Structure 1
Amino acid sequence: MSGGRVATETDIASAASSRRYTENAPYVHKVGVPPKQSLFKEFTYMFKETFFHDDPLRPFKDQPRSRKLLLGIQAVFPILDWGRRYKLHMFKGDLIAGLTIASLCIPQDIGYAKLANLDPQFGLYSSFVPPLIYAIMGSSRDIAIGPVAVVSLLLGSLVQNEIDPKHKPEYQRLMFTATFFAGVTQFVLGFFRLGFLIDFLSHAAVVGFMAGAAITISLQQLKGLLGVKKFTKKTDIVSVMRSVWTNVHHGWNWETVVIGVSFLAFLLLAKYIGKKNRKLFWVPAIAPLISVIISTFFVFITHADKKGVQIVNHIERGINPPSVHKIHFTGSYVGIGFRIGAIAGMIGLTEAVAIGRTFAAMKDYHLDGNKEMVALGTMNVIGSMTSCYVATGSFSRSAVNYMAGCNTAVSNIVMSIVVLLTLELITPLFKYTPNTILASIIISAVVGLFDYEAMILIWKIDKFDFVACMGAFFGVVFASVEIGLLIAVAISFAKILLQVTRPRTAVLGKIPRTTVYRNIQQYPEATKVPGVLIVRVDSAIYFSNSNYIRERILRLLADEEEEQKANERPRIQYLIVEMSPVTDIDTSGIHALEDLYKNLQKRDVQLVLANPGQIVLDKLHTSDFANTVGDDKIFLTVADAVMTLAPKMEP
């Protein structure tokens, strides 16, 4: 053996097998022609795979009518399914989890409501009704429902662009209208099984958007953290920092700064402790409520509110008042509400579905994304009629819910009951809660949204993904939330278009002592077959890329011919196109292959196809291109093609 390597029994057996394979000229398998599919069958298959790939009707097959009705009701209301199997011992975990996330959500809800430019009680309203609806209709055991920072900021910035928050009645009406249409958008996407649309927002774009939102939210909280009264309504970093520094001598309140910074340090320390020791998850969970209690008591006994420390003042007592009469169903604000609601609904879906799938994978159970969308949409539609704004799954609360040992959605019911008791009994106690503590709670909550480790990983894996990530990030930080979102979507679509219009191609060579052909750049030991150029196309061939693929193959052929002439090797007589990655082809793609065939004929080069799939081969036969090339030029594998053509090549 070359290189001093000792031949093993495996090598000898492989070599002998290879010699027998060549010398005995075994049978070359012919590529089968698929049966002709009717247009109706083809359309039905495409429709099913697009919208019903998970076969949702499978549980209903071969079932009596009464059983089908019961299964249908359970599909809409999963609580009727898991509720029958609910045991008393499971309630302990749900009770602890529900109380834990309630202690976290109450101070967060008050802060998030301010982030949305709403009165504090609206945040609590949104953690009372929506979680109850979700517990009945949702299929996730771990998601904790309520307002979240990113959606609150998004709604606040978009709605205030239309109506000044000082005009509370009209501002609230547009907020409820946007929430209604957010729910409608989510419901429609789930009901018509269009959940795949949210996948067009790439993971990299979401990471960048969330990180930018974390920075923007934190900057917005400087108003409360520093006690600044006159603050910009813009969200970009330049406007915010200008507003902060112009107030440094006269606008800052040192008592507010001391309270805010002290408790922010406490909250971050609690978060660090919970991250280091998972058994201490309850420390960061109850830290916000402890901070509110201590700071409120401190302000009350020291009368710090009379020294410039801004406080919450009044939170309306009582449960959610009806708001269906406040929703715009006619007039100019309907279109505005729909636009804002659709954006907020999509962002809420992206976050909730991602959270649900994460925890479902950790606990090894199935989560139906379309059912989740229907549940989220229904709860937001009902929420808009009960004085709530957009609620969705919260990652921080869901993580606490999971670590606290929740077993079912009963933890959401427990949380809702605690919020109900808070609204009915103890809202007056929040009167002296300083705004700076709410700012500290929000800043500590959104720190986790800045996932620098994910950004580093994205940079290592895919540079174009990193561009999408940074585009979304800088768009949010330096422009606005909606501009950042627009950039994220635009770059995600640009990546899809680039990959579709400029697919990869590879020149293949033979791996020594095998009949396997692989990319010569990936496998340096792979050798080219004299007189044959083997090209693999790594994409479907559509109108968007057919011309590029044809030109790319011809360029590879020209480069190979120049190299052959320079090295005085035999000329290229056959061009083999390896088509196993080509999942589909359209009319433009077939025309491109026809043009390629004609061009090769002029060069006295034969076109050969290897391993076309069923759909592709069916279309090649329908268009008569298979007959043009010749059935003897279509092979099952590249190895079959080379073995058959080698004896026919000119010396």
Structure 2
Amino acid sequence: MSDQEDKDLDMETKSLTSVDTQRPNVPYIHKIGVPPKQKIFKEFKSTVKETFFSDDPLRPFKDQPKSRKVVLGLEAIFPILEWGRSYNIKKFRGDLIAGLTIASLCIPQDIGYSKLANLSPQYGLCKHFFFIFSTDIHHFPISISDSFDFCIDSSFVPPLIYAFMGSSRDIAIGPVAVVSLLIGTLVRNEFDPDKDPGEYLRLVFTATFFAGITQATLGVFRLGFLIDFLSHAAVVGFMGGAAITIALQQLKGFLGIPGKHFTKDTDIISVMKSVFGAAHHWWNWQTIVIASSFLTFLLVTKYIGKKNKKLFWVPAIAPLISVILSTFFVYITHANKDGVAIVGHIDHRINPPSLDKIYFSGENLQKGFKIGIVAGMIALTEAVAIGRTFASMKDYQVDGNKEMVALGTMNIVGSMTSCYVATGSFSRSAVNYMAGCQTAVSNIVMSIVVLLTVKFLTPLFEYTPNAILSSIIISAVIGLIDYDAAILIWKIDKLDFVACMGAFLGVVFKSVEIGLLIAVVISFAKILLQVTRPRTAMLGKIPMTSVYRNIGQYPEATKVPGVLIVRVDSAIYFSNSNYTKERILRWLTEEEDDLKAKYEPRIQFLIVEMSPVTDIDTSGIHAFEQLYRSLQKRDVEAKQHTFLVLANPGQVVLDKLYASGFPELVGENKIFLTVADAVHTCSSKTTYDV
């Protein structure tokens, strides 16, 4: 097509966009709106506000007296002050029942979770920990009772803090299996809990402190969107792998194998070698009978509760019943004398403050910081997911940033009161929800029950067999293996499934940290792949309409003679601009080759549908300029002219195109409001009907 024909096309477009009544047989073609120039500061302010303050947290404070602003500020920090005004006896009755129920579940679980964090002796009752109580080198022996207290404290202090600061009504706070295993594994890589227990515990408290700092910082600076970079598929795989690893670690207590004959590695190969290597000499049949019997009991009660929702309390109290029955059985039969390992003596005390045990300088500060970030992010991901899940069931909103501040604050305070990382527990939260909890007061009830248990009932756990703790943990972590979710991921997105299985296999066959690293890497790799290789599609006209859709999705859509319509389904940035340009040219080359083989007319117009292009940078604009010049070069070589036409660019994209002078390069009248407008104008300059 000659330059004169190009000018005619521009004149035709101007005529059509300005007149419709004079040409009733021609569809009205809307003129593309040129956006006014945006002020840089205003645009930057709008972007920052939408990214970090989309919920406009200052809105309630507008046009309020100072006294009211103070009250609203306190309510924003402590939501209990807001909903507490409408609290009544009816709600307390539901919270009381729920609190007692989850307390009966958390007490036996916490004894077992302390083992996952390596806060229990590895070599039987005669082996003791040593804990530094001051800056001086002062030690005293710590038995399994102290590890029990550490975990119990984590079910006492953090839930109290969360009850005042959290925004979820249903989440139950305390130690969880995955975070306990993660803390135990990462800290043990730095200090041996048997050879250097004092430094081990100090690093645990340091990691807990920085886990809280990480969580609170994300909330204060409204950076909660960062946890979304760990995809759902990766989390499913990581949780499933962690569940398998936790269950394998419990084989030591389940089979009665002494700690010194059991591997400290967490991968499945090392664990199975250790298990079968100890089969002939160290398996204890009495322990196996106790563990397998009560594991069967726990699984049966869980099945009953799943089948009949009204019987939710059956699996909730089953762990406590198991502890009571097994303890009574060991006591009357003296099974501990036959090799059945028991908990032993437990003191009636709450652990002292631990602020002076946290590392604030030296190389251990850096170690605690790294471990704390990892543990804090995993704990935060689990808690936020749980909170959102139950909030959707009751149709209320959970403020993600408030949740992060609440979780962070409770772990900071917890690190100063002999606690390790606590977060939301899915199993306890589910029980809390089904027990009829109304508010976070159920966490307060649970904390009080835990405190009373530590002060008055701990001697009753002296003859509790370690085997029952292993059974409780195994039954609890089975629920973390989400087969249905993995199958659904496979059906929906194969790349997501690769991320899921990568995280799962990394945890099971190597270690928890390697599995987590694989999950993060694959999640980022998927993002990069989607950003650098955006989808494109060739569009055709749906018969009897003016709608243009993907030919691959709609086989009935027909191509327009002499016109190639390509849609780009992504923002165009430096990371994908070159690929986008090359992919469009490949679409053009493939289509021309196909037309040539069929002896059909060549392509005269290349229309790029840009409605999905939400943004474009200078590299993207440069790529379109190169695309335009490539078409010109092809025209000279092939002695034919192919025009570049854009359809339906958004305001942001259009603003940047005009700022760069791109419309002047290709022709201002080659940017259209819709694909239909562009096709009508282009086809009017060909000899073919649309």
Normalising to structure 1: TM-score of the pair?
0.96
- Greater shift, 118-127 or 247-256, is seen at 118-127
Deviation at 1:174, TM superposition (A): 0.6
Partner letter of residue 214 of structure 2?
A: T
Deviations 1:267-320 (A, max 9, x none): 000100000100000000000000000000111111111110001112232223
Residue 342 of structure 1: aligned partner: 373
In the alignment, does 2:604 pair up with 1:573? yes
Q: Among residues 149, 156, 170, which one is paired with 1:142 in the alignment?
A: 170
Which letter maps to 2:503?
Answer: A
List runs of 5+ in structure 1 lacking aligned partners: 1-19
What is the match of residue 36 of structure 2?
35
In structure 2, what is the Cα distance between the partners aligned to 1:72 and 1:126?
28
Counterparts of 1:161 and 1:47, CA distance in 2? 41
Is the counterpart of residue 483 in structure 1 residue 511 in structure 2? no
1:9 match: none
Partners of 2:70 and 2:644 in 1: CA distance: 58
Number of the residue aligned with 1:284? 315
Residue range with higher mean Cα deviation, 41-50 or 250-259: 41-50
Match for residue 617 of structure 1? 654
After TM superposition, the structure 1 = structure 2 runs for residues 175-324 of structure 1, keeping only pairs within 5 Å, are 175-229=204-258, 230-324=261-355
Alignment match of 1:520 (pick from 551, 563, 573) = 551
**Aligned with 1:547 (options 553, 573, 578):** 578
Aligned residue number for residue 16 of structure 1:
none
Alignment correspondent of 2:65 = 64
Aligned equivalent of 1:452, options 456, 460, 483: 483
* Aligned mates of 1:293, 1:339 — CA distance in 2: 40
1:163 to 165, 168, 191: 191
- CA-to-aligned-CA distance 1:577-635 (integer Å, 9 cap, x gap): 00000000001000100000011122221000000000000000000002112121000
Whole-Å Cα distance in 1 between the matches of residues 355 and 671 of structure 2? 66
Query: 2:398 — aligned with what?
Result: 367
Query: C-alpha separation between the residues in 1 aligned to 2:74 and 2:326?
Result: 48
Deviations 1:160-201 (A, max 9, x none): 110011122211111000000000000000100000000000
Shift of 1:87: 1.1
> What CA distance in whole angstroms lies between the structure 1 residues aligned with 2:585 and 2:284?
72
Q: Which moved more, 1:399-408 or 1:562-571?
A: 562-571
Number of residue pairs aligned between Structure 1 and Structure 2 = 632
1:435 partnered with 2:435? no
Are residues 1:632 and 2:675 paired?
Answer: no
State the Cα deviation string for residues 407-440 of structure 1 (Å, max 9, x = none).
0000000000000000100111111100000000
Residue type at the aligned position of 2:218: L
1: CA distance between counterparts of 2:265 and 2:293? 27
| DSSP-derived class of the 1:305 partner | helix
593-602 or 502-511, which moves further after superposition?
593-602
| 8 Å contact from structure 2 (residues 149, 350) kept in 1 | no
| Distance change in 2, residues 1:22/1:334 (3 Å) | farther
Answer yes or no: is the 8 Å Cα contact 2:215–2:376 preserved in 1: yes
Task: Kindly provide the amino acid, as one letter, of the partner of residue 369 in structure 1.
Answer: G
Q: State the secondary structure of the residue aligned to 1:648.
A: coil
**What is the SS of the residue equivalent to 1:536?**
strand
Q: CA RMSD in A?
A: 1.2
The 1-side partners of 2:64 and 2:391 are apart by 28
Q: Which residue does 1:25 correspond to in 2?
A: 26
Equivalent residue, structure 2, for 1:379? 410
Q: Which residue identity is paired with 2:36? A: P
Q: How far apart are 1:650 and its partner, in Å? A: 4.9
1:536 partnered with 2:553: no
Aligned to 1:390: 421
Q: Deviations over 1:44-103 (max 9, x none)?
A: 111111111111112122222221221111000000000111011111100000000000
Distance of 1:150 and 1:507 partners within structure 2: 47
Whole-angstrom CA distance in 1 between matches of 2:647 and 2:63? 43
In 2, Cα distance between equivalents of 1:326 and 1:423: 23
SS in 2 for 1:390: coil
Residue identity opposite 2:208 in structure 1 = T
Shift in Å at residue 461 of structure 1?
0.1
Q: Which residue of 1 aligns with 2:587?
A: 556
Cα offsets for 1:550-600 (capped at 9, x unmatched): 000000000110111111211100000000000000010001000000111
Cross-structure match for 1:10:
none
Q: Which one-letter code corresponds to 1:449 in the other structure?
A: L
Residue of structure 1 in register with 2:387 after alignment: 356
* 1:254–1:585 CA distance, 2 compared to 1 (3 A): same
In structure 1, the partner of 2:182 is 154
- The one-letter code matched in structure 2 to 1:132 is L
Q: Alpha-carbon deviations, 1:478-499, whole Å to 9, x = none? A: 0000000000000000000000
**SS of structure 1 residue aligned to 2:684:** helix
1:6 aligned residue: none
**Normalising by the residue count of structure 2, what TM-score does the alignment of the two structures yield?**
0.91
Q: Matched residues in 1 for 2:601 and 2:389: separation?
A: 57
The offset of 1:27, in angstroms, is: 2.4
Distance in 1 of aligned mates of 2:351 and 2:561: 79
Structure 2 stretches lacking a partner, 5+ long: 1-20, 120-146, 636-640
Structure 1 residue 23, shift from structure 2 partner: 6.5
Q: Which moved more, 1:310-319 or 1:452-461?
A: 310-319
Q: Which residue of 2 aligns with 1:95?
A: 96
Identical-pair percentage? 76
Match of 1:511 in 2: 542
Q: 1:360 is paired with a residue of what secondary structure?
A: helix
Return closer, same or farther for 1:246/1:22 CA change in 2, 3 Å cut-off. Answer: farther
CA distance in 2, matches of 1:368, 1:193: 11
Instruction: Output the amino acid matched with 2:176.
Output: V
Distance in structure 1 (CA, Å) of the matches to 2:176 and 2:663? 57
Whether 1:124 aligns to 2:160 is no
Distance 1:211 1:192 in 2: 32
Structure 2: distance between partners of 1:268 and 1:30: 68
Q: Residue 496 of structure 1 aligns to which amino acid in structure 2?
A: I
Q: Which one-letter code corresponds to 1:178 in the other structure?
A: A
Distance 1:22 1:162 in 2: 82
2:684 is matched with which residue? 647
Q: What letter corresponds to residue 324 of structure 2 in structure 1?
A: I
Q: CA 1:568 to 1:439, structure 2 compared with 1: closer, same or farther past 3 Å?
A: same
Which amino acid is the alignment partner of residue 273 of structure 1? Answer: I
Q: What is the CA–CA distance in structure 1 between the aligned matches of 2:360 and 2:299, rounded to whole Å?
A: 44
Amino acid aligned to 2:40: L
Measure the CA separation in 1 of the matches of 2:103 and 2:255: 28
